[in-house]
Amino acid sequence: MTKFSSVFGALLSGRIRRVHQVALTGLIAIVVTTAWTMISGNFDLANGDLFGIIGGWSFVVYLVLFVEMARFTERAFVSDSIRLMPLNDTKLYLANLTASMVAFLYGVLLQVLLHVVGGLLSWHAFSKTLSEMWVAHPGNYPIWVIVLSILCLMFLVLVMMWTTISLIHLVTTSISLFLPASRQKAVQVILYIFVTFVILYIAQLVFRAPTGTMSALHTTSTGAGPVLINLIWIAVVIVIESLLNVLMLKRWVETSH
């Protein structure tokens, strides 16, 4: 049997290369946008314009990385070279999902470094923003608890989005074994519509996570309870979807030819 570390390393290498490509493209976009803004005479470093440009393009980088990691994940499930390796499907699923998570977090780290550079170059505006956040933060909990809660919630939502995409993809793939070709298309259209609503709903959770977490931690009557409940139910959904995904990999999902 192939070791988990070997499978993980093989799956991670291609994703890291893609992260570098996307990050480099984002860096070029930041440089071009900054240069154009300076030429136009609308650039004010002290006012935090550079930090704003970095933040805008980083959002695009995060979105592209999410899509790319999802694409890598789904391709691995039907890849001849990967599925024919001597390893069980549970190990493949975990290595595949972990590789996508690590690669995405690596991409986030690169963007954080850019934000640090932008913050240092725009220190006056950056320090002012930090001071305002520090003064306005909820007093019931330390700010590090709030930041950690937001990061954990957003990370779990991110993983849930990947497991949900995998679930829909594997369900669609498994259907081909039970339905004639004429009915497969109709079922796939219904599933695609369903996926669209699911993704929009989860995206809403991502954008509401920071505000909802801060609001919950600010409420004395409820405290951290709602935050912990959200973390738990999202983790439960991830586990259930992962079990279903592994089951379909074992029984019905075949490699593409």
Judged against a pLDDT cut of 70, whether residue 207 lies above it is answered with no
So what's the pLDDT on residue 48?
72
Segment of 62-66, 116-120, 170-174, 222-226 carrying the highest mean pLDDT:
62-66
How would residue 73 be classed by pLDDT, with cut points 50, 70 and 90? very high
How would residue 216 be classed by pLDDT, with cut points 50, 70 and 90? low
**Is 0.85 topped by the overall pTM?**
no
So what's the pLDDT on residue 69?
96
Long-range contacts of 89-95, Cβ-Cβ distance < 8 Å, separation of 24 or more: 89/246, 89/249, 89/250, 90/246, 91/1, 91/2, 91/4, 91/7, 92/7, 92/249, 93/242, 93/245, 93/246, 93/249, 94/4, 95/4, 95/7, 95/8, 95/11
How would residue 220 be classed by pLDDT, with cut points 50, 70 and 90? very low
If residue 128 lies in a helix (H) or strand (E), which one and from where to where? helix 123-136
Lowest mean pLDDT among 122-126, 198-202, 212-216: 212-216
Length of the chain in residues, anyone? 257
Mean pLDDT of 145-168: 85
Q: What tokens does 18 get?
A: 């893609």
Contact between 243 and 91 under an 8 Å Cβ cutoff? The reply is no
Nearest by Cα to 140 from 206, 214, 71, 198: 214
Query: What is the C-alpha end-to-end distance of the chain, expressed in Å?
Result: 24
How would residue 112 be classed by pLDDT, with cut points 50, 70 and 90? very high
How would residue 130 be classed by pLDDT, with cut points 50, 70 and 90? low
Mean pLDDT of 205-211: 59
Domain ranges of the chain: 1-136, 138-257
Mean pLDDT of 124-149: 65
Contact between 100 and 73 under an 8 Å Cβ cutoff? The reply is yes
Rg of the chain, C-alpha, whole Å: 21
Distance CA 85, CA 231 (A): 35
More confident residue, 8 or 257: 8
Contact between 204 and 160 under an 8 Å Cβ cutoff? The reply is no
So what's the pLDDT on residue 150?
78
Q: Tell me which residue has tokens 């074992």.
A: 250
Judged against a pLDDT cut of 70, whether residue 125 lies above it is answered with no
DSSP per residue over 177-209, as a string?
A: TTS-HHHHHHHHHHHHHHHHHHHHHHHHHHHHH
Percent of the residues in the chain that have a pLDDT greater than 90, as a whole number? 33
Q: What tokens does 157 get?
A: 């939502």
More confident residue, 243 or 227: 243
Mean pLDDT of 68-87: 86
Distance CA 250, CA 89 (A): 6
Mean pLDDT of 165-176: 83
